[in-house]
Each structure stands twice: as C-alpha cells, then as structure tokens.
C-alpha cells in the first residue's frame, strides 16, 4: 500500500508539479527536437518490454507472429558466458516451447565474424519473429551490430516480421545504447553507445520505477538533446507499428520529449530548456514517434 501511495505521489508531481504558462501551449505539428526524427519500422512490428515480462507478453508475441507454429528465433546473447552452457541453451529453448511455441531456434554467438556468415543467418531468413533476451545489452551489440545478422534482422522487419525483447532486449532495439557500459549497468553513457537502431534517434531504459531509474535518462539527454527518451517499467511495454506505438502491460511508460501532457488536461505544453520533467503513459495510450507527441483525444 505504501509503495502504491508513493508511486501515485510521484505521478502527481511529475504530471502537475509546476504551473503551465499558456503561451507555451504547442500546436499539433510543433513537437520536434532539432529536426531529428524518430521512426519505427516501415513494415514490421517491435515489441519492447521493460523487464520482468509475464506470460501476457509471450501471448502477445505469439499473436503478432501469427500463432504457435510460426518459426521464431530466440537470442540469449545478453546473458553472461559462464551461464550459457549447452544445458542452459536447451532449457532456454524449452522455456519457449512450454509457453506454446512449437518452432523455436536458439541463435547465439560471441563472434561477429560468425554472425556475418551465411550459415548463421539462414534461420533468420526463414523466421517471422525474433526475441532478444535480457542480461547486458552491450553483449548483443558486440555480437551483432553491423554484421550480416544485423542486416537479416532489418530484412525480417522489412518483410513484416516481429522483433521483441525484454530488459536488455528492449534497450538494444533503440539507436542509442543506454546503460551500455561493460563495467556495470549504472552508467547511462558508457563504452558502448550504439544500439541496433530498429527505432531511430531514441534511447530506451528499462526496469524504470522498479529500480528508481526515472530520472537517469536526463544524463543522456543533457548530452544528446536530439534523442527521444523512453523509460519502461517492468511488465510493461510498447508495441511499435510504423511511427505509432501503443502501451501494453500493467505499469507505466515514461516519455522524455521536452513536453508535458496529462490525460486530464489533454493538452501538450513545451517545457523550458533544462527541465527535469517527464510524463507517463499507461496501457491503451498511443504515441506518435515521428512528431514526438502523445496522441490525444483531440486528435482522434
């Protein structure tokens, strides 16, 4: 109960903590950052989850790929090497089969040269869905960034496929790799800064409220103000189709786009430079990535 009250208090402060000058009210086409545009995949779908994904997300993934018999790839590469034994990889595969998937292939390497071989990408070329594991997102980057496997992921989206991931598997889908330092996950800007760029000009954080991370995004945005910041709480995600995403799950998504919005006011206001504000979206809310604005009822 105390946790719920504190969370509601935080939400109230974030949404309503400051008075809003009417002259900062934004017109519909005005919300952009330095003319840098964020885009989702033109044809495919992204399922981006903030960690601790429950069965509702695996069911959603199954629906998106077209049913239990659809060929999917599961990628455990973000997990530490000392855990990735043959026995573990088989258990990893079986965990998806127990969730109802019947056509599952585990794909993993630590060698980017192997990730650029024809043999390695063959299963991706036949798949309709990919799921990236949690762990440390820089491991995904080390193995697949700018390889033929990376191109195969992009081709999968181009033909209408689905890419999903939770925790590290969420952050890797953005262009900027938040918490990408190989020495620890508390540095927002580390020795790995490039993600797989399925979602352009964006930084994605995860485990947001569960780990009290909601203000960490500003470390990135202070240095890279052109980026859109998205923070995902646990068991909460976004479904991205084209340039629109919908929120799905039990908690909240935090948006760091230089504006303030609340469902009650249904109005978007521009924030002053240096502001430390964000706003929250919940299940059913939609967001326009290209124009960096929540889709309000006035625009429906």
Average pLDDT of 248-270?
93
Q: Which domains does the chain have, with CATH numbers?
A: 44-299 (3.40.50.880)
At residue 230, the pLDDT reads 99
Cα 84–85–87 angle (5° rounding)? 120
Mean pLDDT of the chain: 91
Average pLDDT of 50-74?
98
Average pLDDT of 263-283?
92
Please give the residue that has the higher pLDDT: either 211 or 273: 211
pTM equals 0.90
Residue 2 has pLDDT above 90, yes or no: no
At residue 12, the pLDDT reads 45
Q: Which residues pair with 262 in a beta bridge?
A: 267
State how far the Cα of 34 lies from the Cα of 18, in Å rounded to an integer.
25
At residue 201, the pLDDT reads 98
Residue 57 has pLDDT above 90, yes or no: yes
Q: What percent of the chain has pLDDT over 70?
A: 87
Residue 8 has pLDDT above 90, yes or no: no
State how far the Cα of 134 lies from the Cα of 52, in Å rounded to an integer.
9
Contact 197, 145 (CB under 8 A): no
Residue 247 has pLDDT above 70, yes or no: yes
């Amino acid at each position: 109960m105390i946790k719920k009250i504190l969370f509601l208090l935080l939400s109230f402060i974030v949404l309503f903590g400051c008075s809003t000058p009417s002259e900062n009210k934004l017109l519909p086409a005005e919300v952009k950052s330095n003319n840098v545009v964020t885009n989702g995949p033109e044809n495919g779908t992204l399922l981006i989850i903030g960690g601790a994904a429950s069965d509702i997300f695996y069911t959603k993934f199954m629906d998106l790929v077209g049913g239990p018999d659809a060929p999917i790839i599961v990628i455990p590469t973000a997990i530490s090497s000392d855990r990735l034994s043959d026995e573990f990889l088989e258990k990893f595969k079986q965990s998806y089969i127990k969730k109802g998937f019947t056509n599952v292939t585990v794909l993993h390497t630590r060698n980017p040269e192997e990730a650029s071989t024809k043999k390695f990408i063959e299963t991706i070329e036949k798949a309709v869905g990919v799921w990236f594991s949690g762990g440390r997102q820089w491991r995904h980057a080390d193995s697949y960034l700018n390889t033929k496997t990376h191109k195969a992921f992009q081709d999968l989206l181009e033909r209408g496929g689905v890419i999903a991931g939770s925790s590290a598997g969420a952050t890797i889908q953005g262009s900027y790799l938040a918490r990408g330092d190989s020495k620890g996950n508390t540095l927002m800007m580390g020795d790995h800064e490039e993600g797989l760029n399925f979602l352009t000009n964006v930084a994605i954080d995860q485990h947001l409220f569960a780990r009290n991370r909601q203000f960490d995004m500003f470390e990135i945005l202070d240095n890279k103000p052109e980026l859109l910041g998205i923070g995902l709480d646990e068991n909460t995600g976004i479904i991205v189709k084209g340039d629109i995403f919908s929120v799905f799950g039990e908690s909240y998504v935090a948006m760091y786009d230089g504006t303030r919005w609340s469902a009650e006011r249904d109005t978007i206001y521009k924030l002053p430079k240096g502001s430390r504000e964000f706003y929250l979206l919940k299940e059913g809310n939609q967001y326009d990535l290209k124009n960096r604005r929540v889709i309000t009822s006035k625009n429906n």
